[in-house]
Structure 1
Amino acid sequence: MPETLRRAVSVALESVMDPETGLSLPAMGLIYDTQIRGAEVEVTMTTTTRGCPLTGLLSTGVEHALLSVPGIRTARVNLTWDPPWDVSRMRA
């Protein structure tokens, strides 16, 4: 079950798109860490800039995607700008 849950969380994160680029947040390199503890998942993420006007939309999108995963009851999104994002983090 834990590996199945990890895959489901990964798929959920891939569904959250950056509206400006049309790429998923993981493809953009915006997801820094994902921790799953039982029915709780915690994601540490960033945005392309500290003043990104889409920060709220993106973090809410991540939270909703995670809560759509069967078995996840709590989702927490931590925003960080350390290390700062740059294009070398993109995998697309």
Structure 2
Amino acid sequence: MTALTQVIDPELQVDVVNLGLIYGIDIEGDKATIKMTLTIMGCPLSDYLEQHIQKAVLSVAGIKSCDIKLVWYPVWTTERLSSAAKKQLGVTNHDDQIKQEKATKEKIIDFSVPIKKMADEYPDFVQIMYDCGFTRIKIPGLLKTVGRVMTIPLGAQAMKLDLAKVKKAFEDKGYKVIND
């Protein structure tokens, strides 16, 4: 597989591994069989890619022959691109776009909002709260019941926790705290 990363598609300038064209490699003794696909049927680069794949595979110590099996199922789609290839080619799918938006979206903890809502919005919320001393937050069903009305300040008061330390814990994790 490492040797195949040296085979660059001349049109896309991305190697065949990161393009997701390699579906499998079988090695029996000194013979390698490469199962691969192409981005489209009738790809004008199929001969070029086969020659370069052969050369790359035969450069691996102990490999004396190489067969290439061209397959069309599963059908190649941009979903097979590695994240590096997607970035290089400027390809994003809807899920990637949502992840990117969430990553760049400012994370805000509103101390006037019930903790259930914060836990639903931010995957690391419960662990941060637990680490601050809100150990009851992991009790099964707590978020679905009391968490619907309990705010961080009310919880801190009930647990006798320093609200400033709670605020700092969230800020240390990249959150902006409001309504404290």
What residue number does 1:60 align with? 51
Counterpart amino acid of residue 66 in structure 2? A
**Which residue does the alignment assign to 2:38?**
47
Q: Which position in structure 2 is the counterpart of 1:80?
A: 71
Could you say which residue in structure 1 is the equivalent of 2:163?
none
Matched with 1:3 is none
* SS of residue matched to 1:53: coil
The one-letter code of the counterpart of 1:77 is I
Task: Name the stretch that deviates more: 62-71 or 26-35.
Answer: 62-71
The Cα shift of 1:56 comes to 0.8
Show structure 2 runs of 5+ residues with no match: 86-180
Aligned to 2:19: 28
Q: Which residue of 1 aligns with 2:138?
A: none
Matched residue, 2:5: 14
The alpha carbon displacement at 1:31 in A equals: 0.3
CA distance in 2, matches of 1:52, 1:83: 17
Q: What TM-score, normalized to structure 2?
A: 0.45
Specify the SS of the correspondent of 1:66: helix
Q: What is the alpha-carbon distance in structure 1 between the residues aligned to residue 41 and residue 25 of structure 2?
A: 20
Unaligned runs of 5+ in 1: 1-9
Amino acid of the residue matched to residue 51 of structure 1? G
1:4-59 deviations in Å (ceiling 9; x for gaps): xxxxxx22111001111111101000000101112111001011000110011111
TM-fit CA distance, 1:90: 0.3
The runs of 4+ residues in structure 1 deviating greater than 3 Å are none
Percent identity over paired residues: 39
Any idea what SS the aligned residue of 1:28 has? coil
The 2-side partners of 1:51 and 1:39 are apart by 30
Root mean square deviation, CA, Å: 0.8
Aligned pair count reads 83
